[in-house]
Amino acid sequence: MSFAGPSRSHYFLRWPLEPAKGAITPGQASWGSQSLAVLGLAFALSALPVAASEMVPLEALFGKPALGTVALSPSGRYLAVTVPGKNALLELRVADLDVKPWNFKSVAWLSNLDVGAVDWVNDKRIVFQAFDSQSGAWGGTCGLWAVDADGEGRKLLIDAAYLHRSGNDVVTARTGVVELGAEWELERVLPGDGDDVLVREWHASSIRGTQYSTLARLNTRARIPKPVSLTSSAPDGAQRWITDRRGVPQYMWGWTDGQHKVFHRGAEDRWEEIASSADTSDAGWWPRFMLYDTLLVSTQPAGASAEVLTTLDPATGKLAPSPVLAAKGFDVGATARPIVDEGSDLLLGWRYRLDTLYTRWGDERMKSFQAAIDRALPGKVNVTACSRCGSAKRWLVESLSDREPPQYIVFEPGSGQLTPVGSARPDITGGLTGARSMERVRARDGLEIPAYVTRPFRPAGSPPGPLPAVVYVHGGPWARTNLEWSDPPVPQFLASRGYVVIEPDFRGSTGYGVKHERAGRGQWGLAMQDDLIDVLHWAIEKGLVDKDRVCIMGASYGGYAALMGPVHDPKAYRCAISWVGVTDLPRLLRDTAEAHLLFDGLSARILRRELGDPEKDAEKLQRTSPVFRAAEIKVPVLAAWGKDDTRVPLEHGRRFRDSATKAGVDLDYVEYADEGHRWLRPATWIDFMGRAEKLLARTLRPGTTSAPPGVRP
Question: 287 and 297 in contact (C-beta within 8 Å)?
Answer: yes
Q: Does domain 437-584+625-699 have CATH number 3.30.230.10?
A: no
Give the pLDDT score at 547: 97
Q: Is the confidence at residue 682, as pLDDT, over 80?
A: yes
Give the pLDDT score at 92: 98
Residue 415: band (very low, low, confident or very high) from pLDDT cuts 50, 70, 90: very high
- Kind and range of the H or E element at 561? helix 557-568
Question: 126 and 148 in contact (C-beta within 8 Å)?
Answer: yes
pLDDT tens for residues 371-380? Answer: 999 999 999 9
Which of 708, 699, 630 has the alpha carbon at shortest distance from 669? 630
Residue 476: band (very low, low, confident or very high) from pLDDT cuts 50, 70, 90: very high
* CA torsion, ordered 462, 574, 520, 584, to nearest 10 deg: -150
Over residues 314-328, mean pLDDT: 92
**Residue spans of beta strands (DSSP E) within 556-677:** 576-579, 637-642, 667-672
Distance CA 594, CA 604 (A): 8
Residue 585: band (very low, low, confident or very high) from pLDDT cuts 50, 70, 90: very high
Distance CA 350, CA 364 (A): 13
Residue 138: band (very low, low, confident or very high) from pLDDT cuts 50, 70, 90: low
Question: 395 and 76 in contact (C-beta within 8 Å)?
Answer: yes
Which of 311, 306, 286, 281 has the alpha carbon at shortest distance from 296? 311
pLDDT tens for residues 234-288? Answer: 988 899 999 999 999 999 998 877 788 999 999 889 999 998 887 666 668 999 9
Kindly list the domain boundaries of the chain, sorted by start residue: 1-65+323-432, 437-584+625-699
Question: 608 and 617 in contact (C-beta within 8 Å)?
Answer: no
pLDDT tens for residues 172-211? Answer: 444 555 678 889 999 999 999 999 999 999 887 554 445 7
Which of 379, 375, 370 has the alpha carbon at shortest distance from 403? 379
pLDDT tens for residues 703-712? Answer: 342 333 343 3
**Percent of the chain residues past pLDDT 70, beyond the cut:** 84
Q: Is the confidence at residue 17, as pLDDT, over 80?
A: no
Distance CA 75, CA 61 (A): 34
Q: Which one-letter amino acid corresponds to residue 471?
A: V
pTM, full prediction: 0.90
Distance CA 93, CA 103 (A): 9
Mean residue pLDDT across the chain: 87
Range name among 186-195, 443-452, 556-565, 595-604 with the lowest pLDDT average: 595-604
pLDDT tens for residues 336-364? Answer: 999 999 999 999 999 999 999 999 999 99
Residues 6+ apart with CB under 8 A from 216: 198, 199, 200, 201, 227, 228, 229, 230, 231
pLDDT tens for residues 586-620? Answer: 999 998 877 654 444 667 788 888 999 999 999 99
Give the pLDDT score at 55: 83
For residue 651, the Cα-to-chain-centroid distance in whole angstroms is 27
What are the two backbone dihedrals, phi and then psi, of residue 564, each rounded to the nearest 5 degrees?
A: -80, -20
Q: State the Rg of the chain over Cα.
A: 26
The SS3 assignment for 646 reads: coil
For residue 617, the Cα-to-chain-centroid distance in whole angstroms is 33
Range name among 46-50, 342-346, 445-449, 507-511 with the lowest pLDDT average: 46-50
Residue 459: band (very low, low, confident or very high) from pLDDT cuts 50, 70, 90: confident
Distance CA 49, CA 429 (A): 8
What are the two backbone dihedrals, phi and then psi, of residue 135, each rounded to the nearest 5 degrees?
A: -135, 135
